[in-house]
Amino acid sequence: MNVDRREFLRRAAALVGSLALPDFVPPPAAAASRARVPAYASWADVYRKQWSWDRVVRSTHHLNCWFQAHCAWDVYVKDGLVFREEQAGEYEPVNAHLPDYNPRGCQKGGCFSTRMYEPTRVTHPLKRVGPRGGGRWERVSWEAALDDIADAYLDVTVEEGTDRTIWDLGPGIDLGVSMAAQGRFSMLTQSVGLDMDGEIGDSRRGTLETFGKIVFERSADDYFYSDLILFWGGNPLYTQIPQAHFYTEARYGGARIISITPDYNPSAMKADLWIPIKPGTDAALALAVCREIVFGGHVDEAFVREQTDLPLLVRGDTKRYLREADIAAGGQAAYHVLWDAQSGALRAAPYRSLALEALVPELDVKRTVRLADGTDVEVRSVYSLLKDRLAEYTPEAAGAECGASPALVRRLAGEIIAAKRLANISQTSLCKYFHGNLAERSIALVFALTGNIGRRGANFSGFPLLTPDGGDKFTIPPSLSEAAATFGKLEPLIKQRMAAGDTHEMIVTDLGRLLFVPGNPLLRLPVWTSGTLFWHVHGGIGELAEKSESWGLGNKRPLNEYVEESIAKHWQPLNPPPDRPPRIMISLCSNPLRRARGADKLLEVLWPKLKKIVVLDWRVSSTGRQADYILPVAPWYERTSLKWVTPLSPYLTITNAATPPRGESKCDWDIIVMLARHIQARAKARGIGSVKSPQGLEVRLDTLYDDLTMQGAFKEGDDDKVARTLYELGNTHKKLTWDELKEKGFARFENLPDEPSSIGNMCEIPPDDSIVPLTFHVRDKVPYPTASRRIQFYVDHPYYEELDELLPRYKAPPKIGGDYPLVMTGGKTRWSIHSTWRDSPLMLKLERSPEPYMLVASPDAAKRGIADGDWIRVRNDVGSFATIARVSPNLRPGQTLMYHAWEQFQFSGAGDMNSVSPTPLNPVELAGGHPHLTAGVLQGQNSVFDRDTRIDIERLRGRPS
C-alpha cells in the first residue's frame, strides 16, 4: 500500500469492525461492551482512583559515577514501566559519632527513569547502511547481526590471529556480571581487553611511584575525624555529590577546609581558605610546604624513619640505592641499607616488616662507605638528598612559580604543620597534567613528612576502589567445580614467595599483572593491555605528538625512542604488537570517540584497519555513530548486576531488573554469551575447530559457547544467576544472602576484597567505624609493595634519572599543542556522568548552555572582544573547534575550562574539544622492568594529559556551519 488518501481509505474500510490492540491487554472479551464502558464525565474522572504501584524495586545506576559510586534507589514500577525513582535513604548509622550516608543520590540518577525512555534509546540491533558515520542504519534481527559478527570474527581469528579482536572496555565496566562474560570470552579466545584507566586520565602515576600502588582510600565519614581537609586538585561538590555533605559536616566538628585550585570553583566556595595557583604548578607549592616542614624542624621523624625510604642510602656513583649485596659478600641484593645511629654502622633495612626493632635509622646521612669489593663510595640518605632539593623551594621562589604569595604559602604550611589529622580528597585531576606525577609525589611528601598517613582522619588519598572478589573465581576456571584445582596451581608459588618475605598484597598485585602477559605459564587468563599505548600505536594518536619537541616536554630523546625501547623491552604491554593491526573492536560500556584525546586520529588511522566495529550501548553515542553494529543493551533498571564501588561509600549496591528490557534489548551478559553461541555454531558449520594464540595456547572455537557457559550452567538470561554466584563466591559479604541483598539493594563491605583492584587499601572495613586505608602498613608494619618496601620518594629507574625525576621536583608545565597564551583545563561536569546524560534534554536545561561551552576568564575575553554567549574558535598547532564562550569571573586569567564529556555530535562545525589535545606520552610512564613500575590492573601504564593544552581563542561571527 502507498500512502495516498484513496488507498488509505480503502485499507481503513477493510478494517471496519475489527479490533487490534497490540500494545494493550484488553478486558476479557466475554464482558459485555456496555459493562466495558465506565462512567466518564470529564478527564478529572481518570484521576479519582488512587494511584498505586505494581512494585517498588531497589536498584541503582552501574555506570562510572567514580568517587560517588553508588546509591540505592527505590524504583517505582507500574505496567512494566519505571515511572520514577526515589532515594532509598536506609543507610544505617555507622556509629553514634559519625554522620550517616543518607540520603545518597544525584540529579542524574534522579532522572534516569526519564533518560532510559528518551526517544533516542536504542531498542533493536542496528546495522550500518552505507559508509561508516553516514548516519544511516537499519534494524536487523539478533540472529542476522550475530551471525555476521561471528563470521567476521572467525575469518579474522583463523586468518590473522586471536589477538586481532579488541575489547574496548570503557570506564563503565562493572568488574561484575558484564565483565564475567567478557572475561571468560577473553580467557577462552585470548582476545584483548584495553585497560582504560590511564587512557581516561586516572593513572595516579605519582601515587604508584610513591606507594607502589594506587588503590587506597578512606570512607567519606572518616573526614569527620580530620581537623584540616585539603581540596587539592579536586572539586568534590561536582564529583562527589552524594557524599559532599561529609565535608561540610566535618566543619561542625571543627575541621577547616583549604581549597587549592586555579579557579574559584563551587567547592572552593565552601572552603575556609582558597589558595589560587596557576594550573600545573602544584608541585612547586607542595615542595615549598615540605621545605617549611623540614627546615622548620616539624618532621614526624618516627613515622618517616619507619614508613618511608627517607633514611635509605643512595650511592653517589650510580645514583642507585645502596644494597646489602654492595656492602657485604653474600648480602641480599633486595635489601636496602640505612645508617643505624644506635650501632653507628650500616645495617640492612628491615625487609619482612617495617618494624625497626632496635634500629634507629639516621635520617640525614652523608658519608663515605666501603663496598664489599673494597671501593669507597659516597652515600647519602634520601632525606639528605631531599633536603638539598627542597632548599630551592623557598616560599618566594615557589610563589613565583605557582602564583600564590609567599605569605599564603607560609600560611598553608603553618596550617598543615599545626594540623593533627590532615586529609586531602580523591582526585584524578593532577594526573591529567603532564607532570602530574611530580605533583602527586610532592603532595604525598607533605603527608609523609608530617606522619599524616594511615591514621583515623589523617590520610593521603589514593585511587578509591572496592570490588567484590568473586569475579576471578568465576572468570578464570573452566568450571566452578574446577576452581580449587585451577587456583591450587598457584599455591607452591604463593608459599615460596611468602617464605621469601613477600606480602599477600604483593602476590595478589603480581597475579593481576599476569593479565598483561598473554600465554603466561602459570594460569590461563583474560588478556589486558594498555589502552593508552594501544591508541597511541594502533590508533595513530602518536602521530599528533610529532611536533612535541617544541612543546617543552623536557624529554632528552625523541618520544618514539622511548616508546620503541619500552615495547621492545616489554616494559609496557602492547597487545597485539605494533606489526599486528587490530581487526575487530567490540566496545563495552565505552565511548572512545567521545573520550579519547585526539580522537579524530582514531577515525583516520584505526578505523580503516578495523573490519568490524561493534558497539554495545543503549544509545547512539559518538562511537556508535561510527560503528558497523549497535547492539542494544538493557540499562540498569532492566538487568541484575553487581559492581565495584569505592571505600568512600563502602556499600555494594546492586541493580535489579525492575522491568523486562525494552524492545529487543539485552544485558551485556546475554549479548556476549549469544555471540559465543553464534561463533560456535558458525565454526561448526564452517568446519573450524581450534586455532592457536600467538603464544601457543589452544583456542577452541567450535566449543566456545559450551566453554563460556560452563557447559550450559550459565546461559543467556542467567544474569541474575551469575550475579548471585559472583556474590556467593566472594568473601566480602557474609551477613546478607543474595536474596536479602536484592531486597535491600545495598550491603556494607565486611572484608577487604582479596583481589588486585582492591587489595591496596590494606585495612579492615570495620562495621562500626570509618575506614582507614594503609592501616596494615602503618599499624601492623606490613611492607609496602614498592621496590624499597617503604613509601618511596626516590625512584632509581634509568628513565627517572634521565629525566631528573629521581626525587620529587617541580617542572614547569609544558606547552602542549604549541606556544599559545591560554591553557585549557577541564573537569567533570555536574550535569552528566561521563557522556551518559550529556545529551539528556532534562540535564541540558540545567547547564549554563545546552551545548558545548568554554569558560573564559573575564580579562581574557575582554582582551579579545568576546562577550558572554559569543561563538569562538579554539585552536592550536594540532587542531581547532568551535564552541560558545561563557565569560566567567571565577577563572584565573590565562585559564580556560571546558567541563568534559560533550559528544562529538554536539559540536557545531568541524572538530570537538579533543581535537586540540594531542596528549603526548610521558616517558617516565613507559618505564618498566622494575618492581613497582610494572603494568598491572588499572595502574602502571601510560596516561593522557589534556590539562596542559595550550590554545588561543578568537571570536566568530556566529555559529559555524
Partner 1 sequence: MTPGGELKALLGSAAGRSAVYALLARCFRHPAQVEQHPLPAPAFEAAFEPAISEHACSLRAGAYWAHEQSTLFEELVRFYEHFGLARAEHAELPDHLSVQFQFMHYLAHLEDEARADRAAIDALTRAQRDFLERQLRRLVYAVHGALKSGDAGCRELVALAVSCVDAEIARTSRAARRNPDIPSTT
333 interacts with partner 1 by CB under 8 A:
no
What are the beta bridge partners of residue 699?
691
Name which of 64 and 825 has its Cβ closer to ligand SF4.
Answer: 64
| Segment near ligand SF4 (CB under 6 A); pick from 101-109, 488-496, 777-785, 861-869 | 101-109
Strand 629-632 relative to strand 126-128, pairing: antiparallel
Footprint (CB under 6 A) of ligand SF4, residues 324-343: none
- Residues 950, 8: Cα–Cα separation, whole Å: 61
16 interacts with partner 1 by CB under 8 A:
yes
| Segment near partner 1 (CB under 8 A); pick from 79-87, 142-150, 708-716, 746-754 | 79-87
143 interacts with partner 1 by CB under 8 A:
no
Partner from ligand SF4, partner 1, none binding residue 23, C-beta < 5-8 Å depending on class: partner 1
70 interacts with ligand SF4 by CB under 6 A:
yes
**Rounded to 5 degrees, what angle do the CA atoms 65, 71, 77 make?**
115
Partner from partner 1, ligand SF4, none binding residue 360, C-beta < 5-8 Å depending on class: none
65, 220, 283, 634: which one binds ligand SF4 (CB under 6 A):
65
What is the identity of the amino acid at 724?
R
Distances (CA, A) of 648 to 73, 277, 285: 18, 27, 27
Alpha helices in 518-660 (DSSP H): 531-537, 559-568, 592-595, 599-605, 622-625
Name which of 36 and 370 has its Cβ closer to partner 1.
Answer: 36
236 interacts with ligand SF4 by CB under 6 A:
no
464 interacts with ligand SF4 by CB under 6 A:
no
9 interacts with partner 1 by CB under 8 A:
yes
| Segment near partner 1 (CB under 8 A); pick from 6-14, 265-273, 277-285, 512-520 | 6-14
Name which of 101 and 153 has its Cβ closer to ligand SF4.
Answer: 101
Contact 648, 240 (CB under 8 A): yes
45 interacts with partner 1 by CB under 8 A:
yes
Cell 571505600 sits at which residue? 647
Name which of 144 and 493 has its Cβ closer to partner 1.
Answer: 144
Radius of gyration of the chain (CA): 29
Rounded to the nearest whole angstrom, what is the least distance from the CB of residue 119 to partner 1 in the complex? Answer: 4
- Residues 372, 829: Cα–Cα separation, whole Å: 59
| Segment near ligand SF4 (CB under 6 A); pick from 62-70, 334-342, 373-381, 564-572 | 62-70
Partner from ligand SF4, partner 1, none binding residue 154, C-beta < 5-8 Å depending on class: none
Cell 618517616 sits at which residue? 304
Contact 258, 412 (CB under 8 A): yes
57, 71, 149, 354: which one binds ligand SF4 (CB under 6 A):
71
139 interacts with partner 1 by CB under 8 A:
yes
Footprint (CB under 8 A) of partner 1, residues 97-136: 113-114, 117-123, 126, 129, 135-136
27, 558, 717, 821: which one binds partner 1 (CB under 8 A):
27
29, 50, 51, 368: which one binds partner 1 (CB under 8 A):
51
60 interacts with ligand SF4 by CB under 6 A:
yes
DSSP 936: B
- Residues 828, 56: Cα–Cα separation, whole Å: 32
Name which of 39 and 568 has its Cβ closer to partner 1.
Answer: 39
**Which residue's Cβ lies closest to ligand SF4?**
109
Rounded to the nearest whole angstrom, what is the least distance from the CB of residue 79 to ligand SF4 in the complex? Answer: 24
72 interacts with ligand SF4 by CB under 6 A:
no
Phi–psi pair at 459, nearest 5 degrees = -165, 150
Partner from ligand SF4, partner 1, none binding residue 129, C-beta < 5-8 Å depending on class: partner 1
108 interacts with ligand SF4 by CB under 6 A:
yes
How many residues are given for the chain?
961
Chain centroid offset of residue 754 CA: 19
| Segment near ligand SF4 (CB under 6 A); pick from 68-76, 436-444, 657-665, 902-910 | 68-76
Partner from partner 1, ligand SF4, none binding residue 102, C-beta < 5-8 Å depending on class: none
Which of 675, 10, 831 is CA-nearest to residue 1? 10
Contact 703, 680 (CB under 8 A): yes
252 interacts with partner 1 by CB under 8 A:
no
21 interacts with partner 1 by CB under 8 A:
yes
Distances (CA, A) of 390 to 211, 294, 383, 452, 660: 21, 8, 10, 20, 61
| Segment near partner 1 (CB under 8 A); pick from 10-18, 147-155, 353-361, 683-691 | 10-18
68 interacts with ligand SF4 by CB under 6 A:
yes
Interface with partner 1: number of residues (CB under 8 A): 68
Contact 474, 729 (CB under 8 A): yes
Rounded to the nearest whole angstrom, what is the least distance from the CB of residue 71 to ligand SF4 in the complex? Answer: 3
Partner from ligand SF4, partner 1, none binding residue 38, C-beta < 5-8 Å depending on class: partner 1
Name which of 574 and 843 has its Cβ closer to ligand SF4.
Answer: 843
| String of DSSP letters for 172-231 | T--SSHHHHHHHHHHHHH--EEEE-TTTTT---HHHHHHHS--B----GGGGGG-SEEEE
Cell of 890: 571565577
18 interacts with partner 1 by CB under 8 A:
yes
Which of 597, 550, 556, 553 is CA-nearest to residue 813? 553
Distances (CA, A) of 449 to 233, 309, 357, 442, 509: 20, 11, 21, 11, 27
Cell 543467556 sits at which residue? 716
620 interacts with partner 1 by CB under 8 A:
yes
Contact 725, 474 (CB under 8 A): yes
Name which of 46 and 333 has its Cβ closer to partner 1.
Answer: 46
- Residues 837, 945: Cα–Cα separation, whole Å: 24
29, 39, 333, 499: which one binds partner 1 (CB under 8 A):
39
Q: Which helix (H) or strand (E) holds 949?
A: strand 949-955
DSSP 262: S
Three-state secondary structure call for residue 747: strand
- Residues 872, 958: Cα–Cα separation, whole Å: 8
Cβ-based neighbours of 747, under 8 Å, separated by 6 or more: 651, 652, 733, 735, 736, 741
Cβ-based neighbours of 743, under 8 Å, separated by 6 or more: 58
Rounded to the nearest whole angstrom, what is the least distance from the CB of residue 649 to ligand SF4 in the complex? Answer: 9
Site map (CB under 6 A) of ligand SF4, residues 8-47, x = contact: ----------------------------------------
Site map (CB under 6 A) of ligand SF4, residues 810-849, x = contact: -----------------------x----------------
109 interacts with ligand SF4 by CB under 6 A:
yes
Name which of 139 and 298 has its Cβ closer to partner 1.
Answer: 139
83 interacts with partner 1 by CB under 8 A:
yes
Cell of 70: 553508588
* Number of other CB atoms surrounding residue 134 within 10 Å: 11
Distances (CA, A) of 139 to 31, 128, 611, 663, 682: 39, 9, 20, 12, 22
Name which of 234 and 242 has its Cβ closer to ligand SF4.
Answer: 242
Q: At what angle do helices 491-499 and 504-513 cross, to 10 degrees?
A: 130
Which of 207, 191, 172 is CA-nearest to residue 515? 191
Partner from ligand SF4, partner 1, none binding residue 488, C-beta < 5-8 Å depending on class: none
Q: Which residue ranges make up the site for partner 1 (CB under 8 A)?
A: 1-9, 11-27, 33-34, 36-43, 45-47, 49, 51, 78-81, 83-84, 113-114, 117-123, 126, 129, 135-139, 619-620, 660, 663, 905
Q: Which residue ranges make up the site for ligand SF4 (CB under 6 A)?
A: 60-61, 65, 68-71, 105-106, 108-109, 242, 833
